[in-house]
Structure 1
Amino acid sequence: MLSMPMALILSSHVAASMVGGGASQRVLNAAKIDTVLVPTVLYGRHPGWGAPGGGPVEQDQFEGILSGISDQGLLDITDIVLTGYFADVGQIFDTAAVIDVVRKGRRVNKGVKAFSREPFVVVDPIMGDAPGGLYVSPAIAAAIKDQLISRADLVTPNLFELGHITGRPLTDLASMVRAARAMARPVLVSSLPRHGQIGVLYVDEQQAWLVAHDRLPKAPNGTGDALTAAFISRILAGDDAKTALEQAVAATVSLVMRAQEWAAPELPLVAAADVLVKPLVTLEAEAVQTA
């Protein structure tokens, strides 16, 4: 058996900003997970800084990249599929097909030398945030919901995305847990307001855990990407959901602390990679009782 896990990331590539697929890649690499990044867009910088430069990856290019990866035999040894930002609906349909190929290949090729027995599909449904709402087209948001979430082993929305996907009002913690459980798969929800703090919630059919921490002002972009990748790395390392949640949130908070200490405009994912392994803070998850 190969000793190294491999992740296939389908998301944005942003040259000058530590966000999107590039952020996911660096966090997973710090956990000794090899990565293959298929870009959905090629931007110069995060749009939050201004006009990003670049643009979407054209459909034929996107499909060509996937074909090259497939021809190399890498889909057979893909342990993690992580989806993020998409520029058009066609990319989403292609990604859904790739997920099916990865799963089918593992079933058919019993002797494949992959790290994990089964692939782990994680959908980060990047489509919007409060207070601005959707920042992708309604068609893209609908395709993520219809084509990708149904194929996911874990979904990682922010609070706005959870409400948009489920169509449910999210008025308190209990309603958030009920909405997450309505997705019928494990869910990691970020950006929860919690008594003046901010929280991250993990929910599956049997348990619900919340980690809350003080808000850190002027956090760089990319914390959601880092959080998702950090949680994946802990699950792949064998942690239970509670421990993975605690470690992932602590690692993300630690990255922001380093960024503030160094006055860094972006997450210092390379220079501060040590805090991904040994966070600067310890956070304790609380069980959420909904009955």
Structure 2
Amino acid sequence: MPLALIISSHVAASRVGGGAQALTFAAFKVDTMVVPTVLYGRHPGWGPPGGAAVPADAIEGMLDGIEANGLFAQTDLLITGYFAHPDQVRAAARAIDAVRAAARPDSARRPFILVDPILGDHGAGLYVAPEVAEAVAADLTPRGDLVACNVWELERLTGAEARTPAQAVDAARHLGRPCLVSSVQRGAEIGVVYADRREAWLAAHPRSPTAPKGTGDLLTALYGAAVLDGLSPSYALARAVGGVAETIAAAHMWKTAELPVVAMAQRLKATSPHVRMERLA
């Protein structure tokens, strides 16, 4: 059974962050280890979230316990997400290095590091303190096998515009890491761009006027699950974006304010007829 280590937020009443990603991975029979960076009652978008940040030394201790059980050597996928303090970021960076350095059989797959630099968005600006954003850019982004960001975050990381599909490809290549760029708009469509040095793809679907919180977390988990399934970047992109689009549609149909991740478990692997794939490079 594949094993994923998630270092991100735990939000009790909202389907966001590491908790939502763990539920998503369960649908793909991927076991998870979740190390929370914050313990919140609800998403801050609803108002004061309750709870608090997890001290960095507690995060270090949890990671030490996981490593002591030999599980770094069994980790197939490591996802980083939301951080509340730069010391937490540095703890995650050390964990990435330790997972990569852990001795494993020659036949074992190489661990895949998926960095979601949760920094902010258009209209809201930074979600995190500037020193956290700086630590993520300096310590995590260069360590990622894939960086999964929204347009605003990519623009902040690179200083380049990324609002159109072509701009997103250029900015991703300027970052120098394979990228998954969400919230790319073209006309009445919204989509996700995948770009590396060799190829680039757009997965687009009709734009919805609203969406529950957590779509970026869901996209990251779905793409990570596709990587573990051995899918190529284009197929991984199509399946992941399809899962997000169908989950948003289900949330609207069921009139729920949170992503219905558990209810959608059997449909997350299916491609969506509403997603249009386009090769960009």
Q: TM-score range by the shorter chain?
A: over 0.9
The worse-fitting range, judged by mean Cα deviation, of 229-238 and 158-167 is 229-238
Q: Is residue 184 from structure 1 mapped to residue 176 from structure 2 by the alignment?
A: yes
Question: Out of 105, 108, 128, which is 1:111 matched to?
Answer: 105
- Report 1:55-66 matches (<5 A): 55-66=52-63
Q: Is residue 127 from structure 1 mapped to residue 124 from structure 2 by the alignment?
A: no
Per-residue CA deviations over 1:71-120 (Å, capped at 9, x if unaligned) read 11111111111000001000111111111111111xxx2438x8x42100
- Report 1:48-59 matches (<5 A): 48-59=45-56
SS in 2 for 1:35: strand
**Which runs of 4 or more aligned residues in structure 1 lie more than 4 Å from their structure 2 counterparts after TM superposition?**
none
Q: Is residue 93 from structure 1 mapped to residue 90 from structure 2 by the alignment?
A: yes
Aligned residue identity for 2:249: M
Q: Quote the residue 2:275 is aligned against.
A: 283
Structure 1 residue 132, shift from structure 2 partner: 1.5
- Report 1:149-188 matches (<5 A): 149-170=141-162, 172-188=164-180
SS in 2 for 1:248: helix
SS in 2 for 1:225: helix
Structure 1 residue 283, shift from structure 2 partner: 2.3
Q: Quote the residue 1:232 is aligned against.
A: 224
Structure 1 residue 201, shift from structure 2 partner: 0.3
Q: Is residue 270 from structure 1 mapped to residue 267 from structure 2 by the alignment?
A: no
- Report 1:187-266 matches (<5 A): 187-266=179-258
> What is the root-mean-square deviation of aligned Cα atoms in Å?
1.5
Q: Which runs of 5+ in 2 are unaligned?
A: none
Structure 1 residue 284, shift from structure 2 partner: 3.1
Question: Out of 44, 48, 60, which is 1:47 matched to?
Answer: 44
TM-score normalised by L of structure 1: 0.93
Distance 1:215 1:132 in 2: 20
Q: Is residue 70 from structure 1 mapped to residue 62 from structure 2 by the alignment?
A: no
Query: Do the aligned partners of 1:254 and 1:279 also contact (CA within 8 Å) in 2?
Result: no
Per-residue CA deviations over 1:147-189 (Å, capped at 9, x if unaligned) read 0111110000100000000011336432221110112221000
Aligned residue identity for 2:116: D
Per-residue CA deviations over 1:178-230 (Å, capped at 9, x if unaligned) read 11011222100000111121111000001110011111233111111101111
Aligned residue identity for 2:17: G
- Pick closer, same or farther for the CA change 1:217–1:77 going to 2, 3 Å: same
Distance 1:279 1:202 in 2: 17
Query: Do the aligned partners of 1:254 and 1:281 also contact (CA within 8 Å) in 2?
Result: no
Distance 2:177 2:203 in 1: 20
SS in 2 for 1:10: strand
- Pick closer, same or farther for the CA change 1:216–1:282 going to 2, 3 Å: closer
Q: Which runs of 5+ in 1 are unaligned?
A: none
Q: Quote the residue 1:9 is aligned against.
A: 6
Distance 1:162 1:192 in 2: 11
Identity, % of aligned positions? 48
Query: Do the aligned partners of 1:157 and 1:188 also contact (CA within 8 Å) in 2?
Result: yes
Query: Do the aligned partners of 2:16 and 2:43 also contact (CA within 8 Å) in 1?
Result: yes
Query: Do the aligned partners of 1:155 and 1:187 also contact (CA within 8 Å) in 2?
Result: yes
Structure 1 residue 66, shift from structure 2 partner: 1.2
Q: Quote the residue 2:128 is aligned against.
A: 136
Query: Do the aligned partners of 2:206 and 2:274 also contact (CA within 8 Å) in 1?
Result: no
Q: How many residues align?
A: 281
